[in-house]
Amino acid sequence: MAGALVAGWIAADADCAARIIATDRYEGVAEALASHYGIGVRATPAAVAAEADLVILLVKPQDIAGAVAEVATMLHGGAAVASAAAGVELATIRAAFAAETPVARFMPNIPVAVCGGVSAVCGDQAATHVLVPWLEAVGMVVEMEESMFDAATAISGSGPGMIAYLIEAFTEAGMAVGFSADDAGRLATMTFAGTGRYLVETGESATALRERVTSPGGTTAAGIAMLDQLQVSEAIRAAAIAARDRGVELRGI
């Protein structure tokens, strides 16, 4: 996700590379980003914290304790902290820092790399005030109560993976009706992409579009009838609930 965010920020404004510094617990990752995008690199999280006005924690939930402990040793007054660790609540982050440190939590998704992402955000106003402009540069920001974060993770955070799963299924369907793998993949991917873009740019609801293009007795009606028969809508609802519940479980890791 760090690479996706950096890619999106540079795509939105190449000059912002001079404002980004990174570090990583895996040797060579931050250096690779620096080589490709021209951002700065520091040896440790503490070194980043000593310079940054906004420290963004992009670590796995099980690594958050060590990351915040190191950042806290060098974080300077007035700096804000934002965490994207799934399932890790604001209270856990706040406990590691001085009481006056503004803290936020956010959950981006992979399309931030092409400035088409969605990021859920919550936290202290002083932290979100700094964080939100960075996230708006790479997509849409939805501020919400922290109680909705597990749900947001299920829909927008895990959503790209599940949509990719559906595109895989449509690609396989294309191959089943006679297309080559390449042609089926291009048809499926661009149909998903184009439909999403159409809905965003026109403001039409998915329901309205579906109803408008589904002629009684036509091909789309036949396909949707089969999806209903196979309870695809119920399966997607169950998948979102499973993803949300896993986010709840991650709080205990």
- Residue that finishes a domain, picked among 89, 112, 145: 145
* Residue (of 18, 22, 68, 20) closest to 43 by Cα position: 22
User: Which pLDDT does position 60 carry in this prediction?
Assistant: 85
pLDDT in tens, 73-115: 999 888 999 999 888 899 999 999 988 999 999 999 999 999 9
The CATH number of the domain holding residue 224 is 1.10.3730.10
Residue 183 lies in a domain: yes
- Residue that finishes a domain, picked among 101, 121, 145: 145
pLDDT in tens, 222-244: 999 999 999 999 999 999 999 99
Average confidence (pLDDT) over 200-226: 96
| Range scoring the smallest mean pLDDT among 19-28, 117-126, 146-155 | 19-28
Contact assessment for residue 120 and residue 83, using Cβ atoms and an 8 Å cutoff: no
Total number of domains constituting the chain: 2
Could you tell me what percent of the chain has a pLDDT over 90?
83
Contact assessment for residue 60 and residue 36, using Cβ atoms and an 8 Å cutoff: no
Residue 153 lies in a domain: no
Range of the domain at 199: 159-250
pLDDT in tens, 20-67: 999 987 778 899 999 999 999 998 999 999 999 999 999 888 888 899
Average confidence (pLDDT) over 206-221: 96
Q: Which residues, 6 or more positions from 29, have their beta carbon under 8 angstroms from its beta carbon?
A: 2
**Residue 253 pLDDT grade (very low, low, confident, very high; cuts 50, 70, 90):** low
Q: Is the dihedral of CA 89, 92, 96, 97 positive or negative?
A: positive
